[in-house]
Structure 1
């Protein structure tokens, strides 16, 4: 062990470097000094409580030397649940690596919610073609009016999708379980059930006057509360996206941005025709709004705007390929100020940069990518809550 001396030697104490070096060699050769050194080396520096034990070393003249410097080992931290970092594995059906960030931004209240449920559903092994493969659920919900509908979606929607998968899994052929019509049926029924549960919960709150969040304390009317929902179910072969509202899912494949959902804005031609056919109107007041109120044409909740505002999701199924790099789910707080191409470029930069430096640390890279995208949205003066979830598909 090397000795480092830090101090000033006065002229009275001084001597030649050669003399002091010979004296140091003689002291080290002294058996008594060797025994003291061995005793100190064998003595543990850390006790069971994690506190560093202070060692007091004194020279032969009784002068107290500064305590030794204790170097704490640098450990790779485990991903925390609050950060949303994913868990990696080398298995074929390994849990995907992901990370998310959600910030209030310039809004008074935080009304977004993010859900991540790796391996939330696993099919039974039926034959060699259909091995027991896990399905992974991710969702971003952008609430409006209050946060409780987005919170309800975060807590319950994945459970409803799982229940519908179990119902449709009985008696279905292997080929039917991956068809567009099968997935569309599962997602539509899940979103409809979620909408009915939110409406029933609101009615129960109003009838019993149960103050459970800010909107009930301010007003007994909860019908003006809703939430968007963009949900992605990642399977070994496909990416299934169900979207209701103006949150968005974008796939980064071979460096290119591929939107997997289309925003439900009231001025979208087909949405405007649907609203008008139902007897409603789209009024342009600070942007296109349903009846001049809501800036999206589809959402869960918003009972006072039905049937003009629908809870029916649009479902897309995209076959996975070797060129898939990452999937980005985000609320409109990001997409209002950041393009699909820019978001994919930032995410790719973070994933590739961290992959070169860290061994198996791309979960941290997803977390960094989501945080960097939220900071970019805020730097570009986004006026909404910003929630970003990045899933590594590589």
Structure 2
């Protein structure tokens, strides 16, 4: 695809008449008008909010500056070049410079008979110092010791019923916060701590579903979650929902779908005596089209609630995060999603007035939902969009779970 900066004109009308269910007029300059037709986008839930910034400092080292010899001295005997390395310190981390983080989400039933998705946005689900959370790039600075809010976002795509997805949306963030309290005393390296927190948290949530008899044994859910600090984007994924980061003109996948025919997953399943059968796509025993999930006790040990965790340091070039169920990814590529999101956000940031009721992130979520339905997505569609470049002063909103 063309770089976004060269293609903004293609989407110049994308957000001209957006409402809570976006207008189709703008995207048609890039996408066919058929992308917006013939679908039920009755909203089960949607909304936007603004959450406060983190207060962590960061140190950045600039590239070396090389003192070149004077042009007039070209013919003189060569002398060793003098290399000058300049250290540039930034007093505030990316999260602090953003003056807060805004978000928007949608969750619609689409063409399915039942709504099985759930989403959770929990601003400030923990408050910790940056050096305790880990990944601070200015350890020992004044701000690294200041308490800052840490934010939680989650998309849960249920199958066989909505019970597990709804339980995860209400419970998962609390379990993760509790597990962090237990792990922080262990003294392990910060990434190892987070990996243990998510592994234990997902397993514990899975066990609570069984012990509390939340759902029948054939009901399960994906879980794609993000913990966002001032310096780090920490993702934990179980299943085939997905998280991507829009960074400048690139769309960077932060998770990898756990599908039964993924080479390592196929080897694991077959090593446990299981089978992957192609029945309308690769499925474990011809039943489930993913290889990891919370719940699904009927398919143990082949379906496991073990997440894959990634760590991404935030930069000034970060545009937004997008978490979504496969109702979106089944019909749109990462690059298409990123192009739409970047174009809308950049334009809306330039034109946003103090009286604007719909946030840019909500416009992105609404637009992506309409495109997915217009492209005949056959699944529920749930999307969270997190703006990482907001410059406005933010007022904390209450948690959102749906």
Give TM-score, length-normalised by structure 2.
Answer: 0.69
- 1:350 to partner: Cα distance: 1.6
Shift of 1:88: 5.2
Secondary structure in 1 matching 2:192: helix
Could you say which residue in structure 2 is the equivalent of 1:83? Answer: 46
Distance 1:317 1:88 in 2: 21
- The answer on whether the counterparts of 1:99 and 1:363 sit within 8 Å (CA) in structure 2 is no
CA contact (8 A) 1:98 1:363 kept: no
How many Å separate the matches in 1 of 2:269 and 2:46?
Answer: 39
- Please list every run of 5 or more consecutive structure 1 residues that lacks an aligned counterpart in the other structure: 1-81, 206-215, 217-221
SS at 1:318 equivalent: strand
| Structure with the higher fraction of residues in strand conformation | 2
| CA positional deviation for 1:359 | 3.6
Match of 1:377 among 361, 364, 372: 372
Matched, 1:326 2:341: no
Q: Which residue of 1 aligns with 2:8?
A: none
Answer yes or no: is the 8 Å Cα contact 1:95–1:118 preserved in 2: no
Q: Deviations over 1:156-200 (max 9, x none)?
A: 000001101111223637xx33xx212111111100001111122
SS where residue 153 of structure 1 aligns? Answer: helix
Match among 302, 305, 309 for residue 311 of structure 1: 305
> How many Å separate the matches in 1 of 2:328 and 2:247?
20
Give 1:25's aligned residue: none
Q: Is 1:104–2:133 an aligned residue pair? A: no
Pick aligned residue for 2:161 from 135, 146, 154: 146
- The residue aligned with 1:277 is 271
Counterpart among 151, 154, 160 of residue 175 in structure 2? 160
Mapping of residues 208-357 of structure 1, within 5 Å: 222-357=216-351
TM-score by length of 1: 0.71
SS in 2 for 1:133: strand
What is the count of residue pairs matched by the alignment? 292
SS of the equivalent of 1:257 reads strand
- Aligned equivalent of 1:119, options 112, 124, 130: 124
Distance 2:53 2:231 in 1: 17
Q: Deviations over 1:180-239 (max 9, x none)?
A: 21211111110000111112222xx6xxxxxxxxxx7xxxxx111000000000111110
Deviation at 1:358, TM superposition (A): 1.3
- 1:387 corresponds, among 376, 382, 394, to 382
Structure 1 residue 341, shift from structure 2 partner: 0.6
Equivalent position SS for 1:273: helix
Query: Aligned-residue CA RMSD in angstroms?
Result: 1.9
Q: 1:196 to 1:171 in 2, by over 3 A?
A: closer
Partner of 2:198: 187
